[in-house]
Structure formats: structure tokens, C-alpha cells
Amino acid sequence: MSIEQTAPAAPAPSSRSTESSGRRDRRRGWLTFLRDVIIIVLVAVLVSFLVKTFLVRSFYIPSGSMESTLMVNDRILVDEVTPRFGGYERGDIVVFRDPGGWLPVSTDAPRSPIVEAVDWSLSLVGLSAPDSDDHLVKRIIGTPGDHVVCCNTLGQISVNDVPIDETDYLKLPTADSPASADDFDVVVPDDRLWVLGDNRYSSKDSRYNQDQPGKGFVPVGNVVGRAFLITWPFDRFGMLDFHHAVFSGVPEPVGEPAAK
């Protein structure tokens, strides 16, 4: 007659060890969750940084020089990619760094490191545009080689001897006002642009910076990109019109662009 042997029963876990194991599991769960959140945030910041650096940037409009196309405090998106491959056209609205002497010297008090850090962080995701005051936004009227003259007997600007009708976007004091209160006659040098504001009598643009070292021309290298969308305020949300048709009859310039 055989005797069946059984293994001794394992001792029941104590309530103290069960509670300790539960706390460890919960701690690991929170640490895993926190790790995932940090990774997601870092990836989002990195993607936003790459987008802002190479694809699209956000700016706000600090002045009325482009009214009524752009109003004070409008927020716009600027395409940094397309112009690099296709270049710029007459009529494009561009944002560019000050070529030198266009903007007054800033008298604002320096901000605290904390404010600077927060503003920089928000700029990575497009919620802030801290360098808007160091940039300008205007419409391209002349590209390299163009002969731009103002004004003819009708008060119009001519590009390569062809008058252009800017009625659709110009803001003038009266319907009979010429397109510029000041005459000019320039040939745009190579790698330069001639730019004017749509609010033509309230814009310190190429016309009024001819006494600067750059003679009023904007180096293409200073251009951040082409503005294409108003994002705020919401009731003004929409694509910007470059009015390329205004320049459709302008022939290509004859001869080489002027020297820089």
C-alpha cells in the first residue's frame, strides 16, 4: 500500500508584503506615465522647433504700414520653404530682418531671464513671436534687374516701363492720391528687392531708406519668407492675396541687374 505524499502548502503572504508590492506597482506606473509624458513633450518641442526653423514661422504685426491688408496685432504665418526653391515674385508679402537703419534703436528695458525663457519656449510652438519687433513686412514691387519708377501722370508706379494698377490693395489718403508722395527712379541690384508698404503714406519702406548703406534695397538673404496666412484674430483668418495679376503685364528686365 503506497502512501501519497503532498508538498507542504506555501505560507499565505502577509498583508504587509501585499501592501508593499502594491505601492511598488503604483510607483512604477506613475514613473512610466511621467516618462511617456516627458518623451511626448520633448518630441513635440523638437518637431515644433524644426518646423519653426525650416518650414513655417509665426509673426505679429506691430504697425499699420501694411493696412488694410494686415492690421496691427494680426498674427501671420510665414512660409520659409517655397521661396527657397521658387524664389520671390512681385506682389509677394515678405518678412525680413532689418537691412540696417530701417528700425529705430530699441529703448525697451531688458526683460528678466525667466520672461525670456518662457517667451522662447512659447515661440517654439508658435504661441509667441518674440522677434517680430526686429523684422519688417512689406510687399515686393521690384525684383533683381527691375527698373521701378514713380510716378507717371496718373500717379502710378511703373515697373520696366509698364504702369501697374495697385488699386486693389493700396490704402491712400484720397482716391486721387498718387501711389507715392515721393518720386523715385531705381534699378534693383542683383540679389536685392525693392519693397513698399500697402499703407503707402504711412510706411517707412525702400523709398525712405535710400540714405542707408543698403540704399533702400533689401538683400534676399535677409528675407525670412513669404507671409501667406492670417491666423489671428479669428474673424480675419484667411489666406493673403499677393495680387500677382497686378504685375502680369510687366516684362522681364532687359540687361543685367545693377551693381550692388
Residues taking part in catalysis: 65, 138
Contacts (Cβ under 8 Å, ≥6 apart) of 63 = 72
At 209, phi and psi to the nearest 5? -125, 25
Distance, in Å, from the CA atom of 148 to the CA atom of 144, rounded to the nearest integer, reads: 11
Residue 159 exposure: Cα atoms within 13 Å on the Cβ side = 26
Distances (CA, A) of 255 to 146, 161, 188, 189, 193: 10, 14, 12, 12, 17
Distance, in Å, from the CA atom of 189 to the CA atom of 227, rounded to the nearest integer, reads: 23
Burial class (CB in 10 A: 0-12, 13-18, 19+), 134: exposed
For the chain, the maximum distance between any two Cα atoms, rounded to a whole number of angstroms, is 129
First to last CA, the chain: 114
